[in-house]
A and B are shown apart, each in its own frame.
Chain A
Amino acid sequence: MGVILKIEDLYVDFKTERGLVKAIDGVTLEVKEGEVLALIGETGCGKSTISKAIMRLLPKNATVRGKIIYKGKNLLELPESEMRKIRGKEIGMIFQDPLTSLNPVFTVSNQMEEMFKIHKLPTRKSIFEEIVNLLKIVRIPDAESRAKSYPFELSGGMRQRVMVAMMLSSNPSLLIADEPTTALDVTIQAQIMNLMLELKRNFNTTILLITHNPGVVAEIADRVAVMYAGQIVEVAPVKEVFDNPLHPYTRSLMRALPKGHKTERELENILGRVPNLLTPPPGCRFHPRCPFADERCTGGKPEIKEVEPGHFVACYKVGGTRNE
């Protein structure tokens, strides 16, 4: 499998009046063609910042260093006019709340027509038929009349389907899905996750899934990258992450899942809280909360290394943590 997107040594800082927030601290990550890579992390770990950096949609107070190479081109160096062609056409994006990403005063078909016009997409039939067809692909019942609805007339699950259909119209190679099912009920969430898996299967779409929910990761990811406080601490195939997590943070996270019953076990308590990125701890950013940390961890940032085939970890103590 080829690499479709490569992030190299990415740093993102935000200038705020309280100082510089070092949101992304040297992230390197490869997304392979046709895979579902989940980027998992807790609130404020920088996972959404990465997605915005890829799309070059960061606010003005952000400074970005490093490379984001998409199909051989460094996106960070492209002129804005080139970038506009990539957004939506090459790289599609769906968000947590589809209501805010749809224009409330246009009907579904109006908005989808825009996509066709902006990116000058080829159509075999009339644009409307093309749109109805897309809505059928994402399993929207009664597609003809739904195409004429306004966003507020649709349920959350429907709106997310419309977003997926819009994205499908340009058939992007890469889909960035930022918490796509967080606002939805589980039965609807399962439907949307199925839809994403169909995309991958039928159109060979590569998916970068950004989420805080290990359940969603377990459902559809092939590989997982775990983020903590702006750094990637572990990258591994999904089964490895759940069965054989090597980084102490990933291990704690897996043990914090509500498995078992309160009468049988206590859930893992990770002590302390996520650090303030205005003054991040030196070295490994997890060390203040890590039960295995020693002087080395406070000194320099651990490099991310391949410790087992396809399993990368950024921790000085790996090997040590596995056997405790």
Chain B
Amino acid sequence: MSSLIETQNLKKYFPVKSGLFGSQNLFVHAVDGVDLEIKKGETFGLAGESGCGKSTLGRLLLRLLEPTQGEIYFDGIDLLSLDKKQLRTLRRRMGIVFQDPKSSLNPRMTIYDILKRPLDIHKLVKDENEKRERIIDMLEAVGLTEEHLIRYPHELSGGQQQRVSIARAIITHPDFVLLDEPTSALDISVQAQILNLLVRLQLELGLTYLFISHDISVLQYISDRIGIMYLGKIAEIFNIKDFRRGEIYHPYTAYLLLSTPALHPEKRTSEQVVLHGEVPSPINPPSGCRFHLRCPFAGNECKKSEPELVEVKKNHYVACYHPEQTKEELRPLVKEKLKMYESVLP
């Protein structure tokens, strides 16, 4: 498979003012050197705790934020070389769906107007009737009806609002859709509807997804490959098959999975595997491996220098000095926990 998006050493630092009169200039290292490849037609899941930089990374990929350093290629196009106008034109090929459905839709526009804007901007349909038909088709594709056209966003439920957001993102038939926690604000049953919808649309329209979530359970369901972020860096990238087999090489990935609330009462998080401490500040990330302060396997080398992201086996990348030890020691726990994804009711 060829890649749709590729980044090289991507960095984004946000300045924070501190000290008297903002005299000290500090930076939040939100994204701190990320090499990522998203292949055509796949769903790439990106997981991590709040503040790890996953949303920032997503926005950088669409150049909704300007990176501090690095390169981004979208289908071979150097995204950072484009001027404003070229970039706006290219936006037809990318969509985005956010976590908060209510805030994602302009409260002063009807659903019809919201969906019409992308068509107008990119002059995709000229005839007004045709436009209307295309919008209705789109609404029906996401499970809404013509009746919703004249509605305002606040008249819809959270799930319906999210469907409108999805419709807006894909009405221009993009290649790539960034899904930034699209189901995190929704109830379980609505989440299931939206996940089903996203899977169906991907098959029908041949979309490529970057699915950002803090919820490993959702990601393991929808992703083909998963990347784990910690403090602005990628800790591990693996495909879903390795994950299913419990082949996890980075301790953070393992602990993230082990702390995930069980989907079955017999697979409760055991107290021994609860990760202690909290994520350190991204303003002054720890030296060496960023995870070493919370890592049970941390040795001297982890404190001194930062591990590179290397291919530990085919298509499996990890940034850790102790990948084999992690895999061997945590695999029994991981495999036991993974069983919670199996017991589906008949």
Give the interface of A toward B (CB within 8 A): 42-43, 155, 157-158, 185-191, 193-194, 212-216, 218-221, 238-239, 242-243, 245, 251-262, 265-270, 273-274
Contact = CB atoms under 8 A, between A and B. Distances in A.
A215 B261 contact: yes
Given A42-B189, A242-B264, A265 B344 contact: yes
A43 B158 CA distance: 10
Contacts of A274: 157
Contacts of B342: 259-260
Contacts of B269: 190, 193-194, 219
A107 to B, nearest CB: 20
Contacts of B22: none
A240 to B, nearest CB: 10
Given A259-B342, A265-B344, A273-B157, A218 B263 contact: yes
Given A186-B261, A269-B192, A212 B341 contact: no
B263 A257 contact: yes
A219 B214 contact: no
Nearest to B202: A262
- For the complex of A and B, list the 7 residue pairs with the smallest distance between their C-beta atoms, beginning with the closest: A215-B261, A256-B192, A267-B192, A258-B221, A42-B187, A190-B259, A185-B49
B220 A261 contact: yes
Contact of B268 (A219, A262, A266): A219
A187 B343 contact: no
Main secondary structure of the interface of B (DSSP, over half): helix
Interface residues of B, number: 51
A214 B278 contact: no
Interface of B: 49-50, 157-160, 187-193, 195-196, 199, 214-218, 220-222, 240, 244, 255-256, 259-269, 271, 274-276, 278-279, 340-345
A133 B345 CA distance: 46
A189 B189 contact: no
B265 to A, nearest CB: 5
Contact of A260 (B218, B221, B262, B268): B221
22 contacts: A43-B187, A155-B278, A185-B279, A186-B256, A187-B49, A188-B278, A189-B261, A190-B261, A190-B269, A191-B275, A194-B271, A215-B217, A216-B261, A219-B261, A219-B268, A239-B265, A242-B265, A256-B188, A256-B192, A258-B220, A259-B344, A261-B244
Contacts of A253: 188-189
Contacts of A191: 274-276
